Copies of this chain bind each other. A is one copy, B any other.
Amino acid sequence: MSSYNVAPLEKLVEQFEKMPGIGYKTAQRLAYYVLNLSKTEADTFAKSIIDAHEKIHYCSVCCNLTDQDLCPVCKSEKRDRTTICVVETPRDAMAMENTNEYKGLYHVLHGAISPLNNIGPDDLTIKELIARFGNDNEISEIIMATNPTVEGDATAMYLSRLLKPMGVKITRLAYGIPVGGDLEYADQITLARALEGRNEL
């Protein structure tokens, strides 16, 4: 930009600017924050990036992120092994987990089918999901918790067709108005779905 640029600083700004939701001004602010760290703090920060990158990989069963072979949920003996909740991302699994309502297992697809973005079924962890239906599996229900988007819906449909022959119950999260929301601000489609899925009181 100006004659006033400092190469190592600009490189750092560039790194931050690549991140989702971070524009040039924010990237600058973050870079200045890093400059103001002590040497130890900066080293810790850099190390935590490398560490996270090196130590974290997919759980060998559910494909969620973990630094061990099995993630805590797959390893836990308290979880209900008859139910698998299929989500798009590890963050979705964490959101489900934070409800404190779900006690079953997960399966993280790491994306959704999206022909526009060149993501087909083979790019997701669908193989791994099918592998869970082994000889002595106890699975009785698969909850499709993919996002309420065109891609999420398509993925849920695709998977339900694929898995129904395995003889399991396939369910989908309910669509409806969000709790604490305002009918006035709900969009048409959400409201139509809420009406469609109305329950008896």
Contact = CB atoms under 8 A, between A and B. Distances in A.
A48 B98 contact: no
B98 A9 contact: no
A116 interface: no
A36 to B, nearest CB: 9
21 contacts: A1-B94, A3-B76, A3-B97, A4-B72, A4-B97, A5-B72, A6-B67, A8-B48, A9-B67, A11-B51, A11-B52, A15-B44, A15-B49, A32-B89, A32-B90, A35-B65, A42-B50, A43-B50, A45-B49, A46-B50, A49-B49
Interface in A75-94: 76, 89-91, 93-94
Contact of A21 (B29, B35, B49, B91): B29
Contacts of A15: 44-45, 48-49
A56 B9 contact: yes
Contacts of A33: 19-20
Interface string A35-70: 101010011111111111101100000001111000
Q: How many copies of this chain?
A: 2
Given A30-B19, A91-B32, A8 B55 contact: yes
A49 B11 CA distance: 9
A73 interface: yes
- Which are the 4 A-B pairs with shortest beta-carbon distances? A46-B46, A42-B53, A2-B97, A12-B52
Interface in A122-148: none
Contacts of A35: 52-53, 56, 65
A190 interface: no
Contact of A67 (B7, B47, B65, B93): B7
